Each structure stands twice: as C-alpha cells, then as structure tokens.
C-alpha cells in the first residue's frame, strides 16, 4: 500500500509508517487521530488498543469499520475471525477510550471513540 500511495503522491503532512500494531514507533500523546478500515479482525486487539491509547493525545478521535461477526453474507474474512461491534466497544472501554457509537451495519460495523481525556 505504501508503494501505491507513493505512486499517487503523498502529501507533505503525511508520514508513512510501517510497524506492528502493538508497538507503534510513535511517542506518547503524539497522534491526533486514528482510522482502521477492514483490519481490526486481523489485529491482536487488546495489545493494539493499549498501544494506540498510549500514542493518541487525550480526546483524539478513533474510527473503526470492519466486518461484523453478525454479518450474514459470504464476503469478507471467516466469521470465526470477526468481532461484533459490542465486543470491540468493550475492548475500547477496557483500553481507556470513551466509545461514542458502536453500530452494526449489516455486513460491517462502525465504531467511533475518543482517547479518554482523564489520563490513563
């Protein structure tokens, strides 16, 4: 994906970073937002969220869209690898985020959260 981004032009304000999700090469409270699309089912969720909380500045938004365990179709990853919106919301709560919304949307779910502003 980084090669594709480079081919299409990377804005000067964007740094492409490659790392594991549970050991992000960013300082504490240095990221302003995070977005994950169709990847949460592949991550070590608890470890990823712990490190994401570390790098996000207080009150920073997070949006996650992924295949839902409650989906009915055959598209996407195997059902055994998927999470329900409520499971992901619980994981975010446990990791120190405030969940604004966790909505099932047929085959996918949408979660909006913020890094808690009251510290860790």
Please list, residue by residue across 10-36, b when 16 or more beta carbons sit within 10 angstroms of its beta carbon and e when fewer do.
Answer: eeeeeeeeeeebeebeeeeeebeebeb
Q: What is the pLDDT along the chain (120 residues), one digit of tens a residue?
A: 889 889 999 999 888 888 999 999 999 999 999 999 999 999 999 999 999 999 999 999 999 999 999 988 778 999 899 999 999 999 999 999 999 999 999 899 999 999 988 655
The neighbour count for residue 58, using CB atoms within 10 Å, is 13
Looking at the whole model, is its pTM more than 0.85? yes
The structural domains of the chain, ordered by start, are: 2-115 (3.40.50.150)
């Amino acid at each position: 994906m980084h090669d594709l981004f480079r081919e299409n032009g990377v804005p000067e304000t964007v740094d492409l970073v490659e790392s594991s999700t549970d050991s992000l090469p960013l300082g504490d409270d240095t990221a302003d937002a995070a977005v994950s699309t169709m990847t949460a089912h592949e991550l070590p969720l608890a470890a990823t969220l712990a490190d994401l909380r570390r790098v996000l500045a207080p009150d920073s938004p997070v949006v996650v869209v992924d295949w839902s365990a409650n989906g009915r179709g055959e598209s996407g990853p195997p059902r055994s690898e998927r999470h329900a919106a409520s499971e992901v919301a619980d994981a975010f709560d446990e990791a120190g985020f405030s969940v604004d919304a966790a909505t099932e949307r047929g085959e996918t779910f949408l979660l909006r959260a913020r890094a808690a502003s009251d510290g860790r």
